[in-house]
């Protein structure tokens, strides 16, 4: 275990916001990149955040595809039908 890791296997050197900004490419902080070179815990946090973002992008794309066939995409005929719920 490195000095950056606690007994629970977490690291307090980089907060969640910095991890998110790093993953999004919006953090220009060399110390974060340097820390990631030496801390497997934070590298795992970055990997988890990237995976979560990819899952979110996939879900959004699927949602957008279903919205193309939603009431707005089906025309007036569908919109004028009574609610079937």
- Which pLDDT band holds residue 13 (cuts at 50, 70, 90)? confident
Contact 13, 42 (CB under 8 A): yes
Task: State CA 69 to chain mean position distance.
Answer: 26
pLDDT digits (tens, 9 = 90+) for 23-41: 988 887 788 888 999 999 9
Residue 42: what pLDDT? 92
pLDDT digits (tens, 9 = 90+) for 47-67: 999 999 999 999 999 998 887
In 3D space, the residue among 62, 12, 71, 63 whose CA is nearest the CA of residue 42 turns out to be 12
Residue 44: what pLDDT? 93
Cβ neighbour number for residue 15 with a 10 Å cutoff: 10
């Amino acid at each position: 275990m490195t000095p950056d890791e606690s007994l629970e296997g977490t690291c307090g050197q980089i907060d969640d916001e910095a991890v998110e900004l790093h993953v999004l490419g919006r953090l220009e902080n060399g110390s974060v990149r340097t820390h990631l070179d030496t801390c497997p815990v934070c590298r795992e946090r970055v990997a988890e955040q990237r995976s979560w973002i990819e899952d979110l992008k996939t879900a959004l794309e699927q949602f957008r595809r279903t919205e193309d066939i939603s009431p707005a995409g089906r025309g007036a005929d569908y919109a004028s039908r009574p609610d079937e719920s």
